[in-house]
Amino acid sequence: MESPEFVPAELDAVVAWRDELDRAGRKLVFTNGCFDILHIGHVRYLREARALGDALAVGLNSDASVRELKGLGRPVNSEGDRAEVLAALACVDRVMVFHDRRVDGLIDRIRPHIYAKGGDHRPETLPPEEREALRRVGAEVRILSLVPGRSTSATISRMGGGGAGTKRRPRLAVLGSGKGSNFRAMLGAINEGRLHADIAVVISDVPGAGILDLARDAGLPHLVVDCGARRARIDAAGAKDLVDRIRASGADLVILAGFMRILEEPVLGAFPERILNLHPSLLPKYPGKDAWVQALRAGEEEAGCTVHLVTAEVDAGPILKQARVPVEPGDTAETLYSRIQVQEHLLLPAAIEEYAANFLPGLQP
Ligand code: GAR
């Protein structure tokens, strides 16, 4: 039987609960953090925090704020998963997710009796706005010692991953609807050492798509996500499934290699600045379908292809890399497109390699 979905506490409910505790003469302890990959250091810290008062509320950094604090490769686990794991601890009474990297707003609302903080902090080294908020609400500040060697980074490092002191190759989720020649080119580039990455999963919206056969033949995880009946869009259930599958694969980057549906929320928000798309034109010219046909019909002397970051506006995100292809006299749509594809096969792996090197610094080979 599937268990009901876990829902983190709403701030208003935590505030009301705090007032109840206060009326009963009981003390609320509040702490906050990322709590990505829970380890014994977290558990001891939270137990100690709980023992300072009568109840413990934890403010959990949202995925976006963890990324801001710790870099693009983090969090390893999503905010929903992290919240549910934390809430399962006997010493944790409430978990709420917060989106700001600063915590003073939350302190002002919750008005904890005791504020617990871990690490090398001393009360006077807390950020000034945090100290100010704690003073305003009259909270007692308690600094708890961390358990040496028991950190998420150390855990990842022991796993041979991208934590402090070690580097691992970026993991790619590749999405495609078609024959997958660009995916094949990525595999070639990986084998030849031009692309230092691993394929986490290949996902298609089209059962039987060639890209899935290529993944199967290469012994790589591959699956179909049912994106719904609306052409070029993804319905709500499909979008949720897509996000879940990509997250479950542990991918650091999502590569659209001929994925013919438009990505919207919640997919975009789940992987901000981590989705790259390949498009067969020199963007911003000719977004949309059959871009090379549009270029040919417009009488362009030059066509090409682009790798760009995916944003809410279709084919309009920041351009990462382009390759140019002259339009030859007598070109047909087919001859032009086949020359563009030759360039695509070089461009996509090169763009991924560059992007990973520049924006996933912890993950380089
Ligand atoms: C590629 O030409 C890519 O540029 C295009 O789909 C093709 C996939 O080919 N993508 C788009 O048009 C996205 N708007 P492939 O399956 O052989 O890699």
Mutate to test the pocket of ligand 1, among 175, 179, 182 (most ligand atoms within 8 A of CB): 182
310 in the same domain as 245? yes
Query: Which long-range contacts (C-beta less than 8 Å, at least 24 apart) are formed by 12-19?
Result: 14/57, 14/94, 14/96, 14/110, 15/109, 15/110, 15/111, 17/55, 17/57, 17/94, 18/57, 18/110, 18/111, 18/112
**364 in a structural domain:** no
CA distances from 159 to 67, 93, 168, 178, 279 (A): 20, 31, 10, 35, 36
Minimum-distance ligand 1 atom for the alpha carbon of 287: 14
Q: Which helix (H) or strand (E) holds 353?
A: helix 333-359
CATH number where 303 lies? 3.40.50.170
Instruction: Report the alpha-carbon distance of residue 185 to residue 192 in Å, rounded.
Output: 10
325 in the same domain as 289? yes
Q: Could you identify the residue written with the tokens 């498009």?
A: 279
* Confidence band of 162 (pLDDT split at 50, 70, 90): very low
Two tokens, residue 249: 């694969």
Tell which wins on pLDDT, 2 or 137.
Answer: 137
At 308-345, the pLDDT tens digits run 999 999 999 999 999 999 999 999 999 999 999 999 99
188 in the same domain as 143? no
pLDDT at 127: 85
62 in the same domain as 188? no
Look at residues 17, 39, 40 and name the one whose alpha carbon lies nearest to residue 30.
17
**362 in a structural domain:** no
175 in the same domain as 135? no
Residues 59-70: what's their mean pLDDT?
A: 83
343 in the same domain as 214? yes
CA of 291 to the centre of ligand 1 (A): 10
CATH number where 43 lies? 3.40.50.620
**Weakest mean pLDDT among 73-77, 84-88, 125-129, 153-157:** 153-157
Residue 261 has pLDDT above 50, yes or no: yes
At 74-124, the pLDDT tens digits run 788 889 999 999 999 999 999 999 988 789 999 999 999 999 998 656 777
pLDDT at 71: 62
Number of folded domains that form the chain = 2
CB–CB of 200/249 below 8 Å?
yes
CA of 256 to the centre of ligand 1 (A): 8
Minimum-distance ligand 1 atom for the alpha carbon of 184: 18
**122 in a structural domain:** yes
Name which residue sits closest to atom 10 of ligand 1, judged by CA: 258
212 in the same domain as 143? no
Q: What is the span of the domain harbouring residue 275?
A: 169-357
| Cβ neighbours of residue 354 closer than 8 Å, sequence gap 6 or more | 320, 321
At 273-315, the pLDDT tens digits run 999 999 999 999 999 999 999 999 999 999 999 999 999 999 9
Residues 246-254: what's their mean pLDDT?
A: 93
**79 in a structural domain:** yes
Average pLDDT, the chain: 91
**88, 114, 148 - which closes a domain:** 148
Name which residue sits closest to atom 9 of ligand 1, judged by CA: 258
Look at residues 162, 199, 171 and name the one whose alpha carbon lies nearest to residue 271.
171
Instruction: Report the alpha-carbon distance of residue 27 to residue 9 in Å, rounded.
Output: 18
| Cβ neighbours of residue 144 closer than 8 Å, sequence gap 6 or more | 45, 48, 49, 116, 117, 118
- Half-sphere exposure of 195 toward its Cβ, with a 13 Å CA cutoff? 24
Residue 30 has pLDDT above 60, yes or no: yes
Minimum-distance ligand 1 atom for the alpha carbon of 185: 18
What's the angle, vertex CA 66, arms to CA 203 and CA 169, rounded to 5?
Answer: 50
350 in the same domain as 226? yes
Minimum-distance ligand 1 atom for the alpha carbon of 257: 18
Mutate to test the pocket of ligand 1, among 204, 211, 315, 344 (most ligand atoms within 8 A of CB): 344
Minimum-distance ligand 1 atom for the alpha carbon of 279: 4
102 in the same domain as 21? yes
CA of 171 to the centre of ligand 1 (A): 21
Query: Whole-model pTM?
Result: 0.61
φ/ψ of 230, rounded to 5, equals: -75, 120
**153 in a structural domain:** no
Residue 231 has pLDDT above 90, yes or no: no
Give ligand 1 pocket residues (Cβ under 6 A). Answer: 176, 178-182, 257-258, 278-280, 305, 341, 344
Active site amino acids: 279
pLDDT above 90 covers what percent of the chain?
75
Name which residue sits closest to atom 13 of ligand 1, judged by CA: 279
CA of 362 to the centre of ligand 1 (A): 30
What's the angle, vertex CA 148, arms to CA 143 and CA 153, rounded to 5?
Answer: 100
**159 in a structural domain:** no
328 in the same domain as 254? yes
**315 in a structural domain:** yes
Name which residue sits closest to atom 16 of ligand 1, judged by CA: 180
Q: Could you identify the residue written with the tokens 């094949």?
A: 184
CA of 289 to the centre of ligand 1 (A): 10
Tell which wins on pLDDT, 182 or 39.
Answer: 182
134 in the same domain as 23? yes
CA of 176 to the centre of ligand 1 (A): 8
CA distances from 39 to 44, 276, 323 (A): 9, 33, 46
